[in-house]
A and B are shown apart, each in its own frame.
Chain A
Amino acid sequence: MFGKPNSTALKRLMTEYKELTVNPPEGITAGPVSEDNFFEWEALIMGPEGTPYEGGIFTATLKFPKDYPLNPPEMRFTCPMFHPNVYKNGLVCISILHPPGDDPNMYESSSERWSPVQSVEKILLSVVSMIAEPNDESGANIDACKMWRDNREEFNRIVRENVRKTLDL
């Protein structure tokens, strides 16, 4: 499934990149790390307003499988990101990045899953929503989950500290 890159995947990624450049969604920038490799992208996401993430600029990488869009990319934050749905190693865990059936976190059956109708833009928009509204039912970072539920003040403090770190970079 992860064999040689296929031209369908490359063509689709080029189209999506062009589309994102022409009509960038608010607060999101994304594109290939280098023109030689369309299968690895970098994304910059602005912390949503009205959340403790506000003011932060969060960097992430997206690694696409060779058969994209049949399978979803893997998304990983490359900056400090304390969030219930982001593993400590930065890996983003939301339902849109998993096909139906692959259910590591027992998502509700109605939650949006990966299929070839999804796109980088839809993933990034879902990630922005996820940042604003954590889902503590399907936690990836258990400490962040607990703190978000039980000690919101401390949670917000850690997040704001991370925001400052992202801006120092």
Chain B
Amino acid sequence: MADGSFPPSEPTDEQILHYEQEVKESHANQRPLVGEREALVELALEYQPDSPFRTQLEYLQTTTFGSVRRTRGDGNCFFRAFAFAWYEAVYTDAKRVRQALTALERCTTWLRDSGFDTLVYEDFLETCVNCLNTLYENSQELSPEDAQSLLENTFRNPEESNAIVVFLRFITSAYLQQHADDYVPFMEHDMDLKTFCVGFVEAMGVESDQIHIMALTRALQVDLRVAYVDGSAAQPQPVIHQFPSPDEHLSDEESTAISLLYRPGHYDILYPL
């Protein structure tokens, strides 16, 4: 190593990998998987007064979204933020819970058609379903505050939280594979769809692009707004994208609507004013 930061005997690839993993984890572990809901202005104030990020966040805060819930930047933030926001939007309402469970169940067809072994996904599906049922049951008995804490704790527990993330990754992959013609034009990477799904969708910790968002919102029939705070000085009013696209907009009757905040490389959850 040119900078002499390593001892004279070269570390093995294994040691380097382990070291990098440790750094990544210790960094990521400083933030809970899903944080507390806080005023969006708090996040804006973390930026310098002249930062375009601050301008854009302040704009959102005065016009559209009052608060934010931050997620850990571990490469799974899109899926975790989506899952939390989705569960939060449905868990107190029997009809919405039923719709969500039906949507999850419907996805198993795509999984099977895409060649996923049952043993590979059944435990993750079970966790998704059990968590939602438990949260619903408790919401009928507990105070709203206690029910809310239970929701937050579920998503802060790595085992349950990651199981839900894995299952959403699987259904995103399966949906892409079953609707290949719609998505191949959006592929940025020079590889076939199957390889992309294995390496960039199914694997934990790999960040998401628009293609993941398009597939997941369609697979689960969830209306998602993403506010793109990209730090562009030329664009003080951040762009807000609608998924699925407005022309296939799901009617309010049947869909659940959630919102996320995108800053380069990271997704958090947004709450409308």
Contact = CB atoms under 8 A, between A and B. Distances in A.
Interface of A: 1, 3, 6-8, 11-12, 15-16, 19, 67, 69-71, 87, 91, 99-102, 104-105, 109-110, 112-117, 119
B25 to A, nearest CB: 6
Given A100-B200, A116-B166, A117-B120, A67 B159 contact: yes
* Interface core residue of A19, A101, A109, A112 (most chain B CB under 10 Å): A101
A69 B120 CA distance: 9
A91 B127 CA distance: 33
B191 A115 contact: no
18 contacts: A1-B25, A8-B124, A8-B127, A8-B163, A15-B119, A67-B159, A70-B204, A101-B203, A102-B21, A109-B195, A113-B198, A115-B199, A116-B120, A116-B166, A116-B202, A116-B204, A117-B117, A117-B198
A124 to B, nearest CB: 15
Contacts of A117: 116-117, 120, 170, 198, 202
Contacts of A1: 25
Given A113-B199, A117-B198, 7 more contacts: A19-B119, A69-B120, A71-B204, A110-B195, A113-B198, A119-B117, A119-B120
A12 B117 CA distance: 12
A105 B162 contact: no
B13 A105 contact: yes
